[in-house]
Amino acid sequence: MLPIAVAILVCLVLWIVFTSSRARRFFFLATTLLVAAGCFWFLREELPLLGRKTEAPAKPPYPESMDVSPDELLVENVVVRKPARDNGYYGISGNIANRAKTKTLSAFKLRIVVSDCSGGSRCVIVGDRTIRIKTSVPPGGSRTFDYELTRLAGIPKKDGLSWKWSVVANDAD
């Protein structure tokens, strides 16, 4: 019953479009807007990449302050996730432990360097970014973190990539 109702509704809409010049203009405008919105939706991941150079971008300047000593921070169980879909982003998750006695960790900056080592003996850096991850880790405590790497757009989605990370700065209360 439903396919018949849909077919009748489509026929009715087409009859109105072909018999009324106002409906024809509205249909044309609506179709144009829907096509433009669809193009924007599918190309939204590619728009930031249009002006990007092919070499790895320079790392942004960050003030390297350490409120908690690097010896008192422990990042472990780090896992890099491949994108769930073709135009998605990589993700990184893990656990950070604050072994400081008095300071609560409120954020940390993680420098991530991605290299492609599949071309033989020489690795090529395909991504180098520093990200800031907000958290709240009390003295002597630990927390998991999960972050989508949107600032590493354009990294090839393939196996054989080498991921290295290090804590370069942190904030504490």
* pLDDT tens-digit profile, the chain (173 residues): 677 877 787 777 777 777 888 877 887 888 888 888 877 776 665 555 555 445 555 544 444 577 888 888 888 998 888 877 766 788 889 999 999 888 898 888 888 888 887 766 678 888 888 888 888 999 999 999 988 887 676 677 777 788 888 888 888 87
Q: What is the pLDDT of residues 97-117, one digit of tens each?
A: 999 888 898 888 888 888 887
Query: What are residue 74's DSSP bridge partners?
Result: 97
Report the DSSP beta bridge partners of residue 73: 98
pTM of the full predicted structure?
0.57
The neighbour count for residue 127, using CB atoms within 10 Å, is 21
**pLDDT at site 58:** 52
Residue 105 bridge partners (DSSP)? 137, 172
Question: With contact defined as beta carbons under 8 Å apart, do 143 and 134 qualify?
Answer: no
Name the nearest CA neighbour of 130 among 92, 88, 99, 98: 92
Which superfamily does CATH assign the domain made up of 70-172 to? Immunoglobulins (2.60.40.10)
The predicted pLDDT at position 62 comes to: 43
147-168: b or e for each residue (b if 16 or more CB lie within 10 Å)?
Answer: bebeebbebeeeeebeeebebb
Return all residues near 67 (Cβ < 8 A) that are at least 6 apart: 103, 105, 170, 171, 172
